[in-house]
Amino acid sequence: MIRGSHRSVIRKPPKNCSKHQSNSIFIDALVDGKPRELLLDTGATRTIIRPDIVGTSTKVKPTPWRLRTATGQPATIHGEVGVAFNIGNTCFNGQVLVADIEDELILGMDIMNTKGFKLDFKRGVLQINEEEVVLHGRTEERVRVVLAEDSSISERCEAILYACPDGRYDEGSIMMVEPGTHDSEGGHGVVIGKSLSHVRKIVPVRVMNVNYHPVTLKKGTVLGYCCPVASIVRSLGTTRENSAEISAELEGAD
């Protein structure tokens, strides 16, 4: 939304709404070669970057733009810079405003419209050319995963056990379930497998017992951690050449 000739609105959560309660949507990207979280804001006319994210050698140029928040309050603006973006496999440069904002970078409609980004909130993806970049909530620290009930695993067997996240998290977000840096509390011979999961109140965890005897894990045992996923990119396009090669391989297998 624009107010006046050179103004843009920065949208922020209400004061009584915590970060965990807000409906902010992010994507992961490289900004000037460094991994960053980009807040997608369809209410922002311009893309905005926080001053500390801008490289010290980058020259900030004056700009005629003036920023106001959704409540009408002015926001300090330092100028404008050129930034290199790498989102999925798409690379491009863009001019962004430098202003005092909470998030690392707000991706506004100027870049989203120019680059033809298509947001699909129902499926939780951002489509860029022939790729889909998965949207996620604000990245938090890793969350412990504890066993939901007493469980037994036969010798030399693998099982799916059900665990509960022990901490704050965005329900439904995609996270990596993995063991900690040290062995889990399950004991010797109990191995936790990595897996991607939509984190909810109950999380399935792959557990293998490599011992030559059964083991029993008690409710509350720490199996591992849910960790933020850097990014997930789904490829939509398949060339005819690749399709032909796959068909030939399938025919040869018959």
Higher-pLDDT residue of 253 and 47 is: 47
Q: Which residues contact 151 (CB under 8 A, 6 or more apart)?
A: 159, 161, 216, 217
Single-letter amino acid, residue 19: K
Top CATH class of 143-228 equals mainly beta
If one counts every other C-beta atom within 10 angstroms of the C-beta of residue 190, the result is 20
Q: Which residues contact 20 (CB under 8 A, 6 or more apart)?
A: 138, 140, 168, 170
For 187-210, the pLDDT digits (tens) are: 788 999 888 888 889 999 999 999
Q: Which residues pair with 118 in a beta bridge?
A: 127
Q: How far apart are CA 30 and CA 85, in angstroms?
A: 6
Average pLDDT (230-251) is: 57
Enumerate the CATH 2.40.70.10 domain ranges in the chain, comma separated. Answer: 7-134
For 65-105, the pLDDT digits (tens) are: 888 766 777 778 899 999 999 998 899 999 999 998 889 99
Enumerate the CATH 2.70.40.10 domain ranges in the chain, comma separated. Answer: 143-228
According to the model, what pLDDT value does residue 11 have?
Answer: 46
Distances, alpha carbon 127 to alpha carbons 70, 136, 191, in Å: 27, 14, 37
Instruction: Name the band, by pLDDT with cuts 50, 70 and 90, for residue 156.
Output: very high
Residue 113 backbone dihedrals phi, psi, to 5 degrees:
-75, -45
DSSP 189: T
Higher-pLDDT residue of 169 and 2 is: 169
If one counts every other C-beta atom within 10 angstroms of the C-beta of residue 89, the result is 12
For 10-51, the pLDDT digits (tens) are: 444 433 333 333 468 888 889 999 989 899 998 889 999 999
pLDDT of 157 higher than 90: yes
Q: How far apart are CA 5 and CA 18, in angstroms?
A: 33
Q: Which residues contact 208 (CB under 8 A, 6 or more apart)?
A: 153, 157, 158, 159, 190, 191, 193
Q: How far apart are CA 205 and CA 152, in angstroms?
A: 14
* CATH number for the domain whose boundaries are 7-134: 2.40.70.10
